[in-house]
């Protein structure tokens, strides 16, 4: 059990330094570290440097691993560094590895942001709005704030910490798996358990511990034909149109109510056991939580359990966008010569990314052949990652549950998550250690969406939670 007086001192220091932490988050949000856009690559490096500056301030020793290069938008680019920090090296303490990412999703004001996405803005209810506030800059800075609070309040740090922060999570985590496998017996040696703060509570009031994630298979489907874009008045009705072919193909992927139409995709989905059915009964979740997060009543199901199962334990297919299509306002009468549609399938336990890709390719080729079009079809699998489910009975989860009780005065829900953090499974398998997801933000934070936010109270209580978790880890029996 962590010492109450010590924790009170830690909490009080964190409370008194709220503005400093918000300022720190504001600085980080101001760096548009979008990993999927070649034009922002310098910003991703800048964000890495900003973190290195903080590591130096906090006496965290570090290595900045250079994972090499990759090609993005036709340009060969240096991958952002993977930061490997080490804080403490006491053989009498447990060693915890924390992972997070310093890259973010793209954000454009014209997407519907009410304020500049790169300027952290606080509204009257304490919402800190800005891209990356919740996913994942708030949480990664949270770990560093917890270290600083211990230093400044003169509290002994309870564990040795290994810190792995990457800058490519939102773009396939390129280079990270190789690094983990390579470093398993060096940098990662001695790690007792892993903690990742990169997901969200289920609702808006109750913290959770997360023991499962869906996987992802991401596809780009290109249909091309004419040698250049054409005038639809002059050529419409005389040529096979790529956009028409693509829309027909995409209409065959999924029904409006979410049923995936690709044969074979649902074949390997793990059976729903009686034991798993029981787990949904204990979870505090209301359809209204979903409706407030999606800011509408466009939910597919009115039933809570069905909704959670659809999010956590069944696959889904989402269509994301079309490159090359006319998308500006106005009435341009163009006939695009080449269009690339993007969609992804969120996969679940027992599904294999290679099999998903094979099913997708076979089906799209067959459906395209049925069109009898003279256009060309090209299918690319951009990335694939498996789903992950772990044991929430491990001491790592026991410690986290105690920390939640200390900070939030309630027991956490045990949840799975519909999103994907591919490295989770790699850590579990390569290090053979338990991995826990300990989220900071709420279910309505709008990660990947417009007006992403992190509530001030989640940020501040989150710093306390991460620090308290480390104290509870130090105190919990690990056998
Ligand atoms: C849950 C995590 N914070 C997250 O947002 N993961 C992303 C990973 C990803 C995969 N392709 C692009 N990003 C997600 O689930 O979409
Ligand atoms: Zn994300
Ligand atoms: Zn994330």
Indicate whether 275 belongs to any domain. no
Residues 95 and 169 occupy one common structural domain: yes
Residues 184 and 319 occupy one common structural domain: no
- Ligand 1 centre distance from Cα of residue 430 (Å): 21
Q: Using the 3D structure, point to which of 344, 360, 385 is the last residue of a domain.
A: 385
If phi > 0 it is left, if psi is from -120 to 50 it is alpha, else beta; for residue 227 that is alpha
Confidence at residue 471, expressed as pLDDT on a 0 to 100 scale? 98
Residues 24 and 67 occupy one common structural domain: yes
Above 70 in pLDDT, residue 48? Answer: yes
**Pocket of ligand 1 contains residue 195 by CB under 6 Å:** no
- pLDDT tens readout for residues 103-114: 999 999 999 999
Indicate whether 159 belongs to any domain. yes
Residues 246 and 172 occupy one common structural domain: no
Ligand 1: which atom is nearest the Cα of residue 105? 13
Q: Among 281, 274, 282, which Cα is nearest to 412's?
A: 282
- The CA-based angle 270-273-277, given to 5 degrees, is 115
- Ligand 3 centre distance from Cα of residue 146 (Å): 20
**Pocket of ligand 1 contains residue 183 by CB under 6 Å:** no
Q: Would residue 43 show up in a list of annotated catalytic residues for this protein?
A: no
Q: Using the 3D structure, point to which of 385, 415, 441 is the last residue of a domain.
A: 385
Residues 105 and 41 occupy one common structural domain: yes
Count: domains in the chain: 2
**Pocket of ligand 1 contains residue 419 by CB under 6 Å:** yes
Task: Give this prediction's pTM.
Answer: 0.94
Indicate whether 302 belongs to any domain. no
Indicate whether 31 belongs to any domain. yes
CB 94 within 8 A of CB 192: yes
Residues 125 and 151 occupy one common structural domain: yes
**Pocket of ligand 1 contains residue 199 by CB under 6 Å:** yes
Residues 114 and 23 occupy one common structural domain: yes
Q: Using the 3D structure, point to which of 322, 356, 385 is the last residue of a domain.
A: 385
What stretches of 197-301 adopt beta strand conformation (E)? 208-213, 215-224, 230-231
CB-based burial of residue 259 (10 Å sphere; 0-12 exposed, 13-18 middle, 19+ buried)?
Answer: exposed
CB 118 within 8 A of CB 131: yes
CB-based burial of residue 429 (10 Å sphere; 0-12 exposed, 13-18 middle, 19+ buried)?
Answer: middle
Q: Enumerate residues with CB within 5 Å of ligand 3 (an ion).
A: 135-136, 198
Indicate which CATH number applies to the domain containing 200: 3.40.630.10
Above 80 in pLDDT, residue 222? Answer: yes
- pLDDT tens readout for residues 227-249: 999 999 999 999 999 999 999 99
- Ligand 2 centre distance from Cα of residue 348 (Å): 18
Confidence at residue 479, expressed as pLDDT on a 0 to 100 scale? 74
Indicate whether 25 belongs to any domain. yes
**Pocket of ligand 1 contains residue 413 by CB under 6 Å:** no
pLDDT tier at 440 (50, 70, 90 boundaries)?
A: very high
| Alpha carbon nearest to ligand 1 atom 13, residue | 170
Q: Among 344, 341, 357, 437, which Cα is nearest to 98's?
A: 437
Q: List the domain range (segments joined by +) for residue 403.
A: 4-213+387-475
DSSP H or E run through 41: helix 41-57
What stretches of 12-150 adopt beta strand conformation (E)? 61-65, 69-72, 75-78, 82-87, 95-101, 121-122, 127-129
Above 80 in pLDDT, residue 1? Answer: no
DSSP H or E run through 430: helix 423-431
Distance of alpha carbon 4 from the chain centroid: 33
Residues 208 and 229 occupy one common structural domain: no
Task: Identify the DSSP state of 126.
Answer: -
- Of 199, 421, 445, the residue with max ligand 1 atoms within 8 A of its CB, to mutate for a pocket test, comes to 421
Residues 332 and 417 occupy one common structural domain: no
Spatial distance between the Cα atoms of 155 and 158, rounded to a whole number of angstroms: 9
Spatial distance between the Cα atoms of 458 and 103, rounded to a whole number of angstroms: 21
Spatial distance between the Cα atoms of 468 and 207, rounded to a whole number of angstroms: 14
Indicate whether 125 belongs to any domain. yes
CB 83 within 8 A of CB 164: yes
Residues 195 and 330 occupy one common structural domain: no
DSSP H or E run through 163: strand 160-166
pLDDT tier at 3 (50, 70, 90 boundaries)?
A: confident
Spatial distance between the Cα atoms of 465 and 327, rounded to a whole number of angstroms: 44
Residues 244 and 164 occupy one common structural domain: no
Preceding amide of 462 cis, omega within 30: no
- Ligand 3 centre distance from Cα of residue 139 (Å): 9
Indicate which CATH number applies to the domain containing 350: 3.30.70.360
- Ligand 2 centre distance from Cα of residue 375 (Å): 35
Buried b (16+ CB within 10 A) or exposed e, 278-317: ebbeebebeeebbeebeeeeeeeeeebeebbbbbbbbbbb
- pLDDT tens readout for residues 250-275: 999 999 999 999 999 999 999 999 99
Q: Enumerate residues with CB within 5 Å of ligand 2 (an ion).
A: 135
pLDDT tier at 391 (50, 70, 90 boundaries)?
A: confident
Residues 347 and 468 occupy one common structural domain: no
Above 90 in pLDDT, residue 145? Answer: yes
Q: Would residue 123 show up in a list of annotated catalytic residues for this protein?
A: no
Confidence at residue 225, expressed as pLDDT on a 0 to 100 scale? 98
- Of 134, 417, 419, 435, the residue with max ligand 1 atoms within 8 A of its CB, to mutate for a pocket test, comes to 419
Sequence-distant (6+) residues with CB within 8 A of 275 are: none
Annotated binding site, which residues?
Answer: 101, 135, 170, 198, 231, 333, 346, 420, 448
Confidence at residue 227, expressed as pLDDT on a 0 to 100 scale? 98
Ligand 1: which atom is nearest the Cα of residue 448? 5
What average pLDDT does the chain have? 97
- pLDDT tens readout for residues 334-358: 999 999 999 999 999 999 999 999 9
Which is the catalytic residue, given 136, 148, 166, 169?
Answer: 169
ipTM: 0.97
- pLDDT tens readout for residues 304-315: 999 999 999 999
């Amino acid at each position: 059990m962590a010492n109450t007086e010590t924790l009170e001192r830690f909490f009080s220091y964190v409370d008194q330094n709220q503005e400093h932490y918000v300022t720190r988050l504001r600085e980080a949000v101001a760096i548009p570290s979008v990993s999927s856009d070649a034009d922002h690559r310098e910003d991703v490096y800048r964000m890495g440097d900003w973190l290195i500056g903080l590591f130096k301030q906090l006496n965290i020793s570090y290595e900045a691993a250079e994972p090499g290069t990759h090609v993005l938008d036709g340009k060969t680019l240096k991958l952002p560094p993977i930061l490997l920090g080490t804080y403490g090296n006491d053989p009498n303490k447990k060693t915890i590895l924390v992972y997070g990412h310093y890259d973010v999703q793209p954000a454009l004001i014209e997407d519907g942001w009410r304020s500049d996405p790169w300027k952290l803005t606080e509204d009257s209810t304490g919402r800190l709005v800005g891209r990356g506030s919740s996913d994942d800059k708030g949480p990664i800075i949270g770990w560093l704030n917890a270290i600083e609070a211990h230093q400044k309040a003169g509290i002994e740090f309870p564990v040795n910490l290994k810190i792995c922060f990457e800058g490519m999570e939102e773009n396939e985590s390129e280079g990270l798996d190789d690094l983990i496998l390579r470093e398993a017996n060096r940098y990662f040696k001695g790690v007792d358990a892993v903690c990742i703060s990169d997901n969200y509570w289920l609702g808006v009031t109750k913290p959770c511990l997360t023991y499962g994630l869906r996987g992802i298979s991401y596809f780009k489907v290109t249909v091309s034909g004419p040698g250049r874009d054409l005038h639809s008045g002059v050529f419409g009705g005389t040529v096979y149109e790529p956009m028409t072919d693509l829309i027909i193909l995409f209409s065959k992927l999924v029904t409006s109510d979410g049923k995936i139409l690709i044969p074979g995709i649902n074949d390997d989905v793990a059976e729903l056991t009686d034991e798993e059915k029981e787990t949904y009964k204990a979870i505090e979740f209301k359809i209204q939580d979903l409706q407030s997060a999606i800011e509408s009543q466009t939910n597919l199901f009115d039933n809570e359990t069905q909704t959670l199962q659809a999010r956590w334990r069944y696959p889904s297919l989402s269509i994301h966008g079309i490159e090359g299509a006319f998308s500006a306002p106005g009435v341009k009468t163009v006939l695009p010569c080449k269009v690339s549609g993007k969609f992804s399938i969120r996969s679940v336990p027992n599904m294999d990314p290679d099999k998903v890709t094979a099913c997708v390719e076979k089906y799209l080729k067959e459906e395209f052949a049925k069109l009898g079009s003279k256009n060309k079809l090209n299918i690319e699998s951009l990335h694939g990652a498996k789903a992950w489910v772990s044991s929430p009975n491990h001491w790592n989860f026991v410690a986290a549950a105690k920390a939640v009780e200390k900070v939030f005065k309630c027991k956490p829900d045990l949840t799975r998550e519909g999103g994907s953090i591919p490295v989770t499974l790699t850590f579990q398998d390569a290090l053979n250690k338990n991995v826990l997801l300990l989220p900071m933000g709420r279910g309505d934070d709008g990660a990947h969406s417009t007006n992403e936010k992190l509530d001030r109270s989640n940020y501040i209580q989150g710093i306390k939670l991460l620090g308290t978790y480390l104290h509870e880890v130090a105190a919990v029996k690990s056998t």
